[in-house]
Every structure is written in C-alpha cells, then in structure tokens.
Structure 1
C-alpha cells in the first residue's frame, strides 16, 4: 500500500488545511478504517477477503473473473457524505476567514479549493493520496499486507528457484544474483557498479566454497555437478561472462546473461536437493508424496468449438498445451497426491470452470480413488511445512510458494473443512493486482495449498472458459520421485 506520509511541519497554511481535510475525510468515510498516530488520524483501506468456500468448492455457476468493480462500488457509499464534509470545512474556515486580511482571505480560499479537490480524489481513489509513511508507524498486522517491499516472488520461476532446499553457499550466490533483477528495473541510469559488486560477491563465494558446493551433490551426480559448476564460473552465461556484460552497460545483454546464470544456479541446486530435507509427520506417512520436482503437461480443448488465439506466426488452435512444475520440496503431500491423480488419468476429460480469479476443475469425486490431503503450507524461513494451519499474512507470515503469482496452481478446499484440501479439485490462480491487497498480496494468501506454477502456456489460462476440457494430463518428469503407499504401488505404472 502506498502509505500516508505525515508532513514534518504543519506551519504552512496549505499543509495545515490539507491535513485537516484529510482527517475530516477519514472520520466520515464509512468503508475506511483508521489508525491514530499521535494526534493525527491516518487512513487505511481494508477490503474484505474473498469468500474462499463459495469460490473454490464445487462452483455451479460461472462468475466474473474480476470483482474490481465491486471493490470500487464499496467506496460509493462515501459519496453521500462529501457534501456534509464540505459544509464542515466551510463552517470551520469561515470563522477564520472573517478575521483575516483580504490578502490572507484570498490565500485561504485557494487552500480550501485544494482541500476540496483532495477530498474528492481521496474518496474516489482506492489509493491514499499522500505517499510514504515510515513503516515504524504501521502496526505489524498491516505492515506485510500493505507494504509493497515484501519481495514476494512475482513469477513462478523465481518462486520455484527460491524454494529449492540447496546448500547455503548456493543460496548466497542466488540471492546476490536475484538482487540484480530488481536493479535492472531502475529506469535511466542503472547502478551497474552495484550489479558488478553483486556478481563479484557471488563469484567469490562460488570459488571459496567450491568444496562445500560439490560435497552437497550425491556421488552418482558428481560428474554432472562438476560440469555445471564449471559452467557457472566460466561458461557461456556464467558469472565471468555476466561481469563482462555489466561492464558494457547493455541492459539487454545483462538481462540475458543474468537469466542464464540463474538457470545454471538452479540446475546445480536441484542436484544438491536430491530428496526431502525433512521427515513427514507419522500420521501422513501413508499418503502419496513427491520427493522433489515434477512436470505435468496438460492439453486443453475448447468446449464450444471455438479456438485459442494463434501463436506468433501460427494458426488458430483448437487445443493448447500448458506445463506445470509441481514442487514436492515445499508441498510433498499435495504435489504427490496431484501427481498420483495425473498418472491415474483422473483429469483426462475433466471439465473446467472459470470462477473469480481462477480456473478450477469440476468436482470429480468418485472418478478415481483419492484422499483429502491436509492443508499444507511451507512458511518462508522454515524447514518443513505446516499442516492444517493457514498462515496469517497480516502477522508477517509468508509462504515459500505464494498464491499471489499469475498461474499459481493450488488445491481447492475440502467441502467439509478448510483444514483439508479437496481430494480432486485444483485451480489455476489468475492473480490480478487490482483485486489484491494494496501491497500486492492476494487476500487469500497462505490459505490454500499451493504446490506449483504454470511455467509454459500462461497465455492460455486467460482464454479458458467454462466448459473447456482437459483432454489429457501427463506426468512427463519426476515419475521416479513419486512415492506411493505400498497398497498403491501397482497403480504407479
């Protein structure tokens, strides 16, 4: 959220009137709540969270994907109070104006005009006018949800890289490189000196900790690990090459080189993370689980005979393919159950429904044997998931696999309890920052078991309509990491 900023002084008449108008607005606009800082009342927007049960459990009717209009409509109730607010300001100021000299009265009239404009904009805009209140003034319950500086991954690729439980040295290298992604967004004069320092820091860690990095790789993967390590240092798209690109100050080449370096880092980390880094609770040992990463490929067909938009230079398509990377490192039970359903053919022929900000499968209960997996969320900074415990984002808890990413894949809630996921229904989340908290987080963040992201074919998701069909779903990578209970081993092939 762009937060209100208190001016350092109120001695300026215009500042005084502006703050006065702002405070009067905050006291009268019913959909807005307020916090008090000293003697100044500050405004915060608190939109209502989405109704998770009505959206993600057995939807029977299609809904509009966005409710941004509804969110704005909630602000309309303030319009009837604008007139009263102006009358209060006029009454207050007229008593002052009568005591002012003509010149001061003229200045005061200008200030009143500015204040009135500010009130109208404040009421009709979903964003506060004044920017940048020191974060120390915001309560912990509001700081995370409304702060744009949470650095929650905004792409599936970044979220998946951060989720790999790799060697600490590799994580240090990765963090230094990820920071360059933010620096590249700075317009005009980019801080190439800082970028170069970041890469040199990563290079030093890579060289100094070579033995630790390679020691974390299983013996049967040592040769491949050594090749990737050499590529990370001196190869095409390696750290040395990235430094050269930065020195040339070509942002396009830096961006390409950075992507190549991060891909190499991720490949090396995946070799280090050969399985789960934690033990599952005893009561969940008989659930299917995915000990690592897997890739699912789905072919989607239009149900009404229409076509998907043509790819660049291609023809109209009656069917389209998307790929999902599912993450057993952070959600082993949820990803494992989903992979089992895919390999069992549970989603072949499944119909899709478009609901608010999501594409969800129809209810397929009874089509194949399945179980309700407990809600499974890995908190950021923790080493194992929480079960049957949603995160409180307002208290600063953030998931390793955030929902606030376009194309995030998660299980719907069980029909009986939100502490469990549906045994069958999953959904693609069509994240839209316009329908999220003012810090860019979904109001349902931390409430669902996110287990992967759409990494190819994201453009298809927005074209899916109610009635479209999953023609086929296949586990094309990670079959060897899918571990099924003993009684289900025969169904894994």
Structure 2
C-alpha cells in the first residue's frame, strides 16, 4: 500500500528504569507490552501484630529460593529483550544514549501546533531567530503549574528586546528593498506596539499568566510577520537534477471544499450543520470563512513536494477525489488515473540543516528530527510511492490525525521522519475527525501563492524509475 503508517496502538503497562551505574548522568525509560503477575504463596508462620516478621530458612531452602528468583529474573529479562531486542546483562550496549532514547524522552521539545512548527521553519535573519527562540521558551515556562518562573520569563524578554534594539540595522538590512518600508513598521510594532515586547514585559512584571499568554501569542505573530518579509524565496539551491520539477519558493494557500458522501452533515461549532465544509491550505495565518480547515503549504522546507501539490491543485486533479479514513489519517484516493503529477523524491528538511535531504528518511532514534514534524495533529504529507519508499506518491496526500496515546513518551510519532510533510492544518481542525470514508473533495483551489510557484518548461516531466 502507498501509505504504510504504523497501525499498532502501543499500550504502556509497565516502565522499567535502566541505568548501568549509579553515576550515569542519564536514565532511559522503556515502555513494555506486558504485565507480570505473581502468585503469592502464604507462609506457614502467621504474622504477629506489633513485631517485625523474620523468616529463618535452612541452607537447602535458601538455595531453592535463590534458584527460583534467578529463574524469575531470567524470564523478565528475556521478555524485555524479546519486546525491544535489548542486549542481555553484561553487554556494554545496555546503556542507551540520550539521543537514541529520544522517542521515550518526556523532555523532548517538539512543536505541538502547526503554527509553532511553521514559525520555526521560516528561514530568516539570525538575530530574528534568536529573538524567536528566546520568546518560544516562555511558552514552555507557562506550562509549569502553580508558581510560574516570572523572573526567567522577564530575562527572556529583556534578552529579546536587547537583540532587537542593538541589531536593528542588521534586521532591517536583511529585508528586500521593496519591503523595507513595510518591515520598518512591523519592527516598530515589535518593539513598542500593541502586543509588542514592551507590553509583554509589563504583563510579566504584573505576574498575570493570562495576559502573558495573550501578549506572547501576539508578539510571536509579529516576529513571524517580520521573518516572512525577510524570506521572499528559498535560502538554498536545489540539486540540478530536480530543477525540472514544479517548486514552491515560499508558502501558498489552498482551499478545499469537502462534500459528505452520505446524507449526514458536518457539525460546526456555534453554527448550523452543513453537508459541505471548506478546508483551506493557507499561508500567513489568514482566516477566511467559518467551517474551514486551514493548512499552510511550506515551500521553504519542502519546495518540490509543495510545488507538485500546488500544481496538481491548479490543474484540478483533486476535484471529485474521494477520501478514505484510517485510525491515523484522512487520505485522498490513490489517483491511479491521474497523470498530471510528478513522482517527487522523498523530501525532508532535518532540524539544524540548511537544505532538505532527498530519497532518505530520518533516524529519530539517533536524534534526527525534521523541521516540519509529522507529530502534530493535522500535519499534511504525501504518501509513499507505490514504486519505492524513497519517493513520494505523485498524487496521494493525507491529513495526519496525531494521537499522543500512539506515540513515544516524548510525544513523537513512531512514523516521524518517514514522510514528506509539507504543511499543517491551522484552523478548522475540528472538521478533520468528521470526515468519513466516501466523502468527496468537491473542489480545490490555490487561492494564494501562484506568484511563488515555479513551473518547469513545457514537456519536462520526470517519473520515478520502475
């Protein structure tokens, strides 16, 4: 099948804390699939109230019990080894490094929303990224229950403010000439505008968590707006062999209208039920209508995948396409009769890198994470090609219905780094679980981003090798 998502639901019943030595600085937690039940045997000697119970054993009985205990330990260790292919005691590889334990680390900081993932994916001035990183940390600090670390938050904002003021010339110089006037207005708003850094700093000093949360969201939106002005195109060169592909050199907006395949209706929050719903793939966080699902298609991190998808939409390839549902995704049909798509290589931008990798997956267990993670509810990605997992399907895409109950302790999907993610649902996520197998895409429109879509020369078509 073109969409081999992991379908197993992992049930964490028992956690074993493993460490080689008392001085080891890291601990690794392994989720296991079994529950060990032990039958208790009543002792002949009844307990006496008010006294500690001491049992005296003969040498023969003690030997028996030790032998029984060793057998029991061997069974438990064997069960763990079978479940995870772990080495037996005595092997140096029993200790797992923190990088390889990333799937099970509860401290892994992975974006939990499409908006956050998209902000992090914008290629912008290094000073703006430093400001953004300092502010993003406040989002994690706000999650701390009870007493909030307002002092740390204040330090983060002051750091961001100092960078913004000291590096003003560098920040504005990185803007294209035609956008510099607009960028100057956005910069002024970031410093002292409504929802700017000065206002956020005052909310923190007032120690009002609700105001801090609202102010932080507003400030980060302003940061993203300025960063998008700094990034009018791709920050890297595509490999020569892929220049004949359609490519998106920024972000674009796609709007889907979904029609129910039966007589049921979509339920809107605060509205009347409808038989159709609008799903939008949007850039720049624009809300257009009710009952819509917004998705940003990101050419900054996946130019070939997003470009191919945008071209298909413009060609009307998805009009009338049927949808199917699994426990993890909403998929378009395979489109076997569609010939307008390109079999693009698997395209994934690793975090910390400047350009995507092609035809290769990421090893999450070795610490590799993508800039656009799959582990976000409503992530949009292409299915695998029928030919090879090194290529994406030329047509079939899916909405990923992320569920933390089916992920590692770090909240990372077990399919992370295996698919070309090229966008996120940002508004209307409540529509996704209402889509059922048999529902139909009535229409798909590219309503923004046509000017960023670079099409190949006429007749230049490439397909994956057989």
Instruction: Sort the TM-score into its range (normalised by shorter chain).
Output: 0.7 to 0.9
Change (3 A) 1:352 1:215: same
How much has 1:485 moved relative to structure 2? 0.2
Q: What CA distance in whole angstroms lies between the structure 2 residues aligned with 1:304 and 1:465? A: 9
In structure 1, which of residues 333, 339, 346 is the aligned counterpart of residue 310 of structure 2?
A: 339
In structure 2, which of residues 369, 379, 395 is the aligned counterpart of residue 424 of structure 1?
A: 395
In structure 2, which of residues 17, 20, 27 is the aligned counterpart of residue 37 of structure 1?
A: 20
Change (3 A) 1:191 1:43: closer
Question: Does residue 1:286 correspond to 2:244, yes or no?
Answer: yes
Matched with 2:408 is 437
In structure 2, which of residues 102, 127, 132 is the aligned counterpart of residue 174 of structure 1?
A: 132
Contact 2:196 2:218 in 1 (8 A): yes
Matched with 1:71 is none
Matched with 2:276 is 319
The Cα offsets for residues 149-179 of structure 1, whole Å up to 9 and x where unpaired, read as: 1211110000000000100000010011111
Q: What CA distance in whole angstroms lies between the structure 2 residues aligned with 1:270 and 1:228? A: 11
Q: What CA distance in whole angstroms lies between the structure 2 residues aligned with 1:213 and 1:179? A: 21
Alignment of 1:342-381 (within 5 A): 342-381=313-352
Alignment of 1:461-472 (within 5 A): 461-472=432-443
Alignment of 1:259-270 (within 5 A): 259-270=217-228
Contact 1:140 1:394 in 2 (8 A): no
Q: Which moved more, 1:137-146 or 1:286-295?
A: 137-146
Question: Does residue 1:186 correspond to 2:144, yes or no?
Answer: yes
Contact 1:344 1:368 in 2 (8 A): no
Query: Alpha carbon RMSD of aligned pairs, Å?
Result: 3.1
Point out 4+ residue stretches in structure 1 off by more than 6 angstroms: 29-34
Contact 1:341 1:347 in 2 (8 A): yes
Contact 1:350 1:362 in 2 (8 A): yes
Matched with 1:455 is 426
Alignment of 1:44-443 (within 5 A): 44-45=29-30, 75=34, 78=35, 82-83=37-38, 86=39, 103-105=51-53, 138-140=96-98, 142-312=100-270, 314-321=271-278, 322-443=293-414
Q: What CA distance in whole angstroms lies between the structure 1 residues aligned with 2:55 and 2:138? A: 49
SS in 2 for 1:441: coil
Contact 2:13 2:31 in 1 (8 A): no
Contact 1:32 1:43 in 2 (8 A): no
Contact 1:141 1:395 in 2 (8 A): yes
Q: What CA distance in whole angstroms lies between the structure 1 residues aligned with 2:22 and 2:140? A: 37
SS in 1 for 2:147: coil
Matched with 2:76 is none
Q: What CA distance in whole angstroms lies between the structure 2 residues aligned with 1:39 and 1:209? A: 47
**Gaps in structure 2 of 5+ consecutive residues:** 1-11, 57-72, 74-78, 84-93, 279-292, 461-466
SS in 2 for 1:104: coil
| TM-score calculated relative to the size of structure 2 | 0.79
Change (3 A) 1:46 1:30: closer
**Gaps in structure 1 of 5+ consecutive residues:** 1-28, 48-73, 109-118, 127-135
Change (3 A) 1:488 1:250: farther
Contact 2:28 2:96 in 1 (8 A): no
Matched with 1:18 is none
Change (3 A) 1:106 1:344: farther
| Count of matched residue pairs | 397
Q: Which moved more, 1:180-189 or 1:139-148?
A: 139-148
Structure showing the higher helix proportion among its residues: 1
